[in-house]
Protein backbone atom coordinates (compact mmCIF):
# COMPACT_ATOMS: atom_id res chain seq x y z
CA UNK A 1 0.00 0.00 0.00
CA UNK A 2 2.91 2.39 0.60
CA UNK A 3 4.88 1.55 -2.53
CA UNK A 4 6.14 4.74 -4.19
CA UNK A 5 4.30 6.92 -1.70
CA UNK A 6 6.12 9.91 -0.28
CA UNK A 7 6.35 9.92 3.50
CA UNK A 8 7.80 12.65 5.70
CA UNK A 9 8.74 11.57 9.24
CA UNK A 10 9.51 14.53 11.50
CA UNK A 11 11.51 13.04 14.39
CA UNK A 12 12.76 10.37 12.00
CA UNK A 13 16.36 10.51 13.25
CA UNK A 14 15.64 8.53 16.42
CA UNK A 15 13.48 5.98 18.22
CA UNK A 16 10.02 5.35 16.82
CA UNK A 17 10.46 7.87 13.98
CA UNK A 18 13.54 6.04 12.72
CA UNK A 19 11.73 2.68 13.00
CA UNK A 20 8.82 4.13 11.00
CA UNK A 21 11.22 5.42 8.34
CA UNK A 22 12.80 1.96 8.08
CA UNK A 23 9.43 0.21 7.87
CA UNK A 24 8.21 2.65 5.25
CA UNK A 25 11.34 2.11 3.14
CA UNK A 26 10.84 -1.66 3.47
CA UNK A 27 7.27 -1.14 2.22
CA UNK A 28 8.60 0.61 -0.88
CA UNK A 29 7.94 4.22 0.12
CA UNK A 30 10.08 7.26 -0.66
CA UNK A 31 10.99 8.63 2.74
CA UNK A 32 12.14 12.00 4.01
CA UNK A 33 13.21 12.39 7.64
CA UNK A 34 13.46 15.68 9.50
CA UNK A 35 14.87 16.79 12.86
CA UNK A 36 17.39 19.34 14.17
CA UNK A 37 20.73 17.54 14.54
CA UNK A 38 22.32 17.11 11.10
CA UNK A 39 24.87 14.45 12.06
CA UNK A 40 22.22 12.27 13.68
CA UNK A 41 19.94 12.80 10.67
CA UNK A 42 22.65 11.67 8.26
CA UNK A 43 23.30 8.51 10.31
CA UNK A 44 19.58 7.77 10.53
CA UNK A 45 19.04 8.27 6.79
CA UNK A 46 21.78 5.70 6.12
CA UNK A 47 20.20 3.28 8.62
CA UNK A 48 16.72 3.71 7.15
CA UNK A 49 18.12 2.78 3.75
CA UNK A 50 16.55 3.25 0.35
CA UNK A 51 16.86 6.80 -0.88
CA UNK A 52 15.89 8.32 2.48
CA UNK A 53 16.69 12.01 2.51
CA UNK A 54 17.59 13.97 5.67
CA UNK A 55 16.19 17.49 6.23
CA UNK A 56 17.15 19.85 9.01
CA UNK A 57 14.03 21.34 10.62
CA UNK A 58 13.08 22.73 14.02
CA UNK A 59 9.31 22.47 14.42
CA UNK A 60 9.27 25.07 17.20
CA UNK A 61 10.24 27.66 14.53
CA UNK A 62 7.07 28.42 12.56
CA UNK A 63 8.84 30.45 9.90
CA UNK A 64 11.24 27.59 9.25
CA UNK A 65 8.35 25.13 9.05
CA UNK A 66 6.43 27.35 6.59
CA UNK A 67 9.58 27.83 4.45
CA UNK A 68 10.29 24.09 4.52
CA UNK A 69 6.89 23.23 3.06
CA UNK A 70 6.93 26.19 0.65
CA UNK A 71 10.20 24.95 -0.82
CA UNK A 72 8.88 21.41 -1.30
CA UNK A 73 8.27 20.86 -5.02
CA UNK A 74 6.10 17.74 -4.71
CA UNK A 75 3.11 16.54 -2.69
CA UNK A 76 3.51 14.17 0.25
CA UNK A 77 1.21 11.22 0.89
CA UNK A 78 1.79 10.85 4.61
CA UNK A 79 3.07 13.16 7.29
CA UNK A 80 4.22 11.57 10.55
CA UNK A 81 5.32 13.65 13.55
CA UNK A 82 7.16 11.81 16.34
CA UNK A 83 9.24 14.81 17.42
CA UNK A 84 9.17 15.70 21.09
CA UNK A 85 11.44 17.28 23.64
CA UNK A 86 12.24 14.38 25.96
CA UNK A 87 10.52 14.67 29.34
CA UNK A 88 13.84 13.63 30.87
CA UNK A 89 15.55 16.64 29.29
CA UNK A 90 12.77 19.16 29.90
CA UNK A 91 12.01 18.03 33.47
CA UNK A 92 8.30 17.76 32.65
CA UNK A 93 7.86 14.66 34.84
CA UNK A 94 7.40 16.06 38.34
CA UNK A 95 4.78 16.90 40.92
CA UNK A 96 2.81 19.95 39.92
CA UNK A 97 4.07 21.73 43.00
CA UNK A 98 7.69 20.93 42.17
CA UNK A 99 7.60 21.41 38.40
CA UNK A 100 8.89 24.53 36.74
CA UNK A 101 6.27 25.99 34.41
CA UNK A 102 9.07 26.61 31.92
CA UNK A 103 9.70 22.83 31.81
CA UNK A 104 6.03 22.09 31.20
CA UNK A 105 5.87 24.77 28.49
CA UNK A 106 9.04 23.44 26.82
CA UNK A 107 7.52 19.97 26.62
CA UNK A 108 4.27 21.28 25.16
CA UNK A 109 6.08 23.61 22.76
CA UNK A 110 7.56 20.73 20.77
CA UNK A 111 5.05 17.96 21.37
CA UNK A 112 1.78 19.89 20.91
CA UNK A 113 2.55 23.21 19.21
CA UNK A 114 5.12 21.52 16.93
CA UNK A 115 2.59 19.20 15.22
CA UNK A 116 0.00 22.01 15.28
CA UNK A 117 2.32 24.25 13.25
CA UNK A 118 3.43 21.36 11.02
CA UNK A 119 -0.19 20.45 10.23
CA UNK A 120 -1.07 24.09 9.56
CA UNK A 121 1.67 24.54 6.95
CA UNK A 122 2.11 20.92 5.84
CA UNK A 123 -1.53 20.39 4.83
CA UNK A 124 -1.01 22.40 1.64
CA UNK A 125 1.43 19.74 0.44
CA UNK A 126 -0.64 16.78 1.64
CA UNK A 127 -2.09 14.67 -1.19
CA UNK A 128 -5.92 14.61 -1.50
CA UNK A 129 -6.01 11.05 -0.08
CA UNK A 130 -3.07 11.58 2.23
CA UNK A 131 -2.84 11.18 6.00
CA UNK A 132 -1.24 12.59 9.11
CA UNK A 133 -0.08 10.45 12.06
CA UNK A 134 0.60 12.26 15.34
CA UNK A 135 1.91 10.95 18.67
CA UNK A 136 0.42 11.33 22.13
CA UNK A 137 1.12 8.77 24.87
CA UNK A 138 -0.53 6.61 27.49
CA UNK A 139 -0.54 9.45 30.03
CA UNK A 140 -3.28 11.20 28.02
CA UNK A 141 -5.91 8.83 29.43
CA UNK A 142 -4.36 6.79 32.27
CA UNK A 143 -4.74 8.04 35.84
CA UNK A 144 -2.15 5.78 37.40
CA UNK A 145 1.05 7.38 36.16
CA UNK A 146 2.62 9.56 38.86
CA UNK A 147 3.95 13.05 38.12
CA UNK A 148 2.41 13.22 34.64
CA UNK A 149 0.19 16.32 34.84
CA UNK A 150 2.08 18.24 32.13
CA UNK A 151 2.60 15.21 29.93
CA UNK A 152 -0.98 14.00 30.33
CA UNK A 153 -2.35 17.44 29.45
CA UNK A 154 -0.10 17.67 26.40
CA UNK A 155 -1.08 14.21 25.17
CA UNK A 156 -4.75 15.04 25.66
CA UNK A 157 -4.28 18.22 23.64
CA UNK A 158 -2.66 16.29 20.76
CA UNK A 159 -5.55 13.80 20.69
CA UNK A 160 -8.27 16.48 20.79
CA UNK A 161 -6.49 18.45 18.08
CA UNK A 162 -6.23 15.38 15.84
CA UNK A 163 -9.95 14.57 16.14
CA UNK A 164 -10.90 18.10 15.12
CA UNK A 165 -8.33 18.20 12.34
CA UNK A 166 -9.64 14.91 10.92
CA UNK A 167 -12.99 16.67 10.44
CA UNK A 168 -11.44 19.82 9.05
CA UNK A 169 -9.16 18.35 6.38
CA UNK A 170 -11.26 15.30 5.39
CA UNK A 171 -11.11 13.20 3.28
CA UNK A 172 -7.45 13.40 4.19
CA UNK A 173 -7.05 11.35 7.35
CA UNK A 174 -5.61 12.12 10.77
CA UNK A 175 -4.79 9.53 13.44
CA UNK A 176 -2.83 9.38 16.67
CA UNK A 177 -0.65 6.70 18.23
CA UNK A 178 -0.72 6.64 22.03
CA UNK A 179 2.29 4.54 22.94
CA UNK A 180 3.08 2.94 26.26
CA UNK A 181 6.69 2.76 27.38
CA UNK A 182 9.00 2.09 24.44
CA UNK A 183 12.77 1.58 24.58
CA UNK A 184 14.12 4.60 22.68
CA UNK A 185 16.85 7.23 23.09
CA UNK A 186 14.24 9.45 24.80
CA UNK A 187 15.49 8.01 28.09
CA UNK A 188 19.23 8.29 27.41
CA UNK A 189 19.35 11.11 29.98
CA UNK A 190 18.57 8.67 32.81
CA UNK A 191 21.27 6.59 34.44
CA UNK A 192 21.37 3.06 33.04
CA UNK A 193 20.23 1.68 36.39
CA UNK A 194 17.23 4.02 36.58
CA UNK A 195 16.32 3.32 32.97
CA UNK A 196 16.45 -0.44 33.33
CA UNK A 197 14.44 -0.25 36.58
CA UNK A 198 11.76 1.78 34.78
CA UNK A 199 11.61 -0.74 31.91
CA UNK A 200 11.49 -3.70 34.32
CA UNK A 201 8.66 -2.10 36.35
CA UNK A 202 6.69 -1.50 33.17
CA UNK A 203 7.24 -5.05 31.93
CA UNK A 204 5.95 -6.41 35.24
CA UNK A 205 2.68 -4.51 35.01
CA UNK A 206 2.03 -4.81 31.26
CA UNK A 207 -0.10 -7.74 30.12
CA UNK A 208 2.45 -8.88 27.55
CA UNK A 209 5.28 -8.82 30.09
CA UNK A 210 7.65 -6.56 28.21
CA UNK A 211 8.41 -2.98 27.33
CA UNK A 212 7.71 -1.78 23.79
CA UNK A 213 10.11 -1.80 20.85
CA UNK A 214 10.17 0.99 18.24
CA UNK A 215 9.25 -1.67 15.65
CA UNK A 216 5.95 -2.37 17.50
CA UNK A 217 5.00 1.23 16.92
CA UNK A 218 6.28 1.31 13.34
CA UNK A 219 3.94 -1.55 12.42
CA UNK A 220 1.01 0.46 13.73
CA UNK A 221 2.10 3.58 11.88
CA UNK A 222 2.29 1.63 8.61
CA UNK A 223 -1.23 0.32 9.27
CA UNK A 224 -2.60 3.82 9.95
CA UNK A 225 -1.00 5.18 6.78
CA UNK A 226 -2.23 2.23 4.69
CA UNK A 227 -5.81 1.69 5.87
CA UNK A 228 -7.87 4.34 4.09
CA UNK A 229 -10.95 3.74 6.27
CA UNK A 230 -9.37 4.80 9.56
CA UNK A 231 -9.47 8.43 10.64
CA UNK A 232 -9.95 10.52 13.76
CA UNK A 233 -8.72 7.62 15.92
CA UNK A 234 -6.35 7.27 18.83
CA UNK A 235 -4.56 3.94 18.57
CA UNK A 236 -3.27 2.71 21.95
CA UNK A 237 -0.21 0.46 21.69
CA UNK A 238 1.04 -0.17 25.18
CA UNK A 239 1.36 -3.90 25.82
CA UNK A 240 -1.93 -3.90 27.69
CA UNK A 241 -0.97 -1.63 30.58
CA UNK A 242 -3.93 -1.34 32.95
N1 LIG B 1 9.57 6.45 24.26
C2 LIG B 1 8.49 6.28 24.99
O3 LIG B 1 8.44 5.48 25.94
C4 LIG B 1 7.24 7.06 24.67
C5 LIG B 1 6.07 6.75 25.40
C6 LIG B 1 4.88 7.42 25.08
C7 LIG B 1 4.88 8.38 24.08
N8 LIG B 1 6.04 8.67 23.41
C9 LIG B 1 5.97 9.66 22.34
O10 LIG B 1 6.31 9.04 21.12
C11 LIG B 1 6.95 9.99 20.23
C12 LIG B 1 8.30 9.44 19.77
O13 LIG B 1 9.12 9.25 20.92
P14 LIG B 1 10.59 8.60 20.81
O15 LIG B 1 10.86 8.04 22.16
O16 LIG B 1 10.68 7.77 19.61
O17 LIG B 1 11.49 9.92 20.60
P18 LIG B 1 13.10 10.12 20.54
O19 LIG B 1 13.79 8.83 20.32
O20 LIG B 1 13.48 10.93 21.74
O21 LIG B 1 13.26 11.02 19.21
C22 LIG B 1 12.77 12.33 19.17
C23 LIG B 1 13.00 12.88 17.80
O24 LIG B 1 12.44 14.21 17.73
C25 LIG B 1 13.42 15.07 17.16
N26 LIG B 1 13.12 16.44 17.64
C27 LIG B 1 13.17 16.87 18.91
N28 LIG B 1 12.85 18.18 18.95
C29 LIG B 1 12.61 18.56 17.67
C30 LIG B 1 12.26 19.80 17.08
N31 LIG B 1 12.07 20.91 17.81
N32 LIG B 1 12.07 19.84 15.74
C33 LIG B 1 12.24 18.72 14.98
N34 LIG B 1 12.58 17.53 15.50
C35 LIG B 1 12.77 17.46 16.83
C36 LIG B 1 14.75 14.48 17.64
O37 LIG B 1 15.87 14.89 16.87
P38 LIG B 1 16.67 16.26 17.23
O39 LIG B 1 16.84 16.31 18.73
O40 LIG B 1 17.96 16.13 16.48
O41 LIG B 1 15.83 17.39 16.73
C42 LIG B 1 14.46 13.00 17.40
O43 LIG B 1 14.61 12.68 16.04
C44 LIG B 1 7.03 11.28 21.05
O45 LIG B 1 5.91 12.09 20.77
C46 LIG B 1 6.96 10.80 22.50
O47 LIG B 1 6.51 11.79 23.41
C48 LIG B 1 7.22 8.05 23.70
What is the extent of the structural domain holding 105?
A: 6-236
Tell me the best of 23, 35, 89 to mutate to test the pocket of ligand 1, counting ligand atoms within 8 Å of each CB and taking the most. Answer: 35
Among 8, 9, 14, 203, say which to mutate for ligand 1: greatest number of ligand atoms within 8 Å of CB. 14
Q: pLDDT band for position 116 (50/70/90)?
A: very high
SS3 136: coil
Task: Kindly give the distance from the C-alpha atom of residue 212 to the centroid of ligand 1, in angstroms, as a whole number.
Answer: 15
pLDDT one-digit tens code per residue, 42-90: 999 999 998 999 999 999 999 999 999 999 999 999 999 999 998 777 7
CATH of the domain at 175: 3.40.50.720
Q: What is the pLDDT, as a whole number, of residue 6?
A: 98
Task: Provide the phi-psi class of 91: left if phi over 0, else alpha when psi is between -120 and 50, else beta.
Answer: left
In a domain, 71, yes or no: yes
Q: Is residue 242 part of a domain?
A: no
Residue 189's Cα: distance from chain center in Å?
19
**How many folded domains does the chain comprise?**
1
**Which residues lie below 8 Å from residue 201, measured CB to CB, with a gap of 6+?**
none
Residue 205 contacts residue 242 (beta carbons within 8 Å): yes
Is residue 91 over pLDDT 90?
no
Distance 50 CA to ligand 1 centre (A): 22
Helical packing angle, 149-168 and 101-108, nearest 10°:
30
Residue 148 forms part of a structural domain = yes
Sheet holding 76-81, edge to edge: 53-56, 30-35, 6-10, 76-81, 126-135, 173-179, 234-237
pLDDT reported for residue 144: 63
Omega before 171 within 30 of 0, i.e. cis = yes
Q: Is residue 42 part of a domain?
A: yes
Q: What pLDDT digit, counting tens, does each position of 138-191 carry?
A: 877 776 677 889 999 999 999 999 999 999 999 999 999 999 999 999 999 999
Is residue 134 included in any domain, yes or no? yes
Among protein residues, the one with the nearest Cα to ligand 1's atom 43 is: 11
- CB distance 119 to ligand 1 below 6 Å: no
In a domain, 43, yes or no: yes
What does the pLDDT read at residue 88?
77
**Looking at the domain assignment, is residue 232 inside a domain?**
yes
Amino acid sequence: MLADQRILVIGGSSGMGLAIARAAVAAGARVMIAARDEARLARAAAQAGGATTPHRLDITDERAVAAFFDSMDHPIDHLVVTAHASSVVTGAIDTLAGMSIAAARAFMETKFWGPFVVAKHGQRKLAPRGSIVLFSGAAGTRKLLPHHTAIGATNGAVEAFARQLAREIAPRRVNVIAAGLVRTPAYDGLSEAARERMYADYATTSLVGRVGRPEDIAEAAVYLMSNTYVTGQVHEIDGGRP
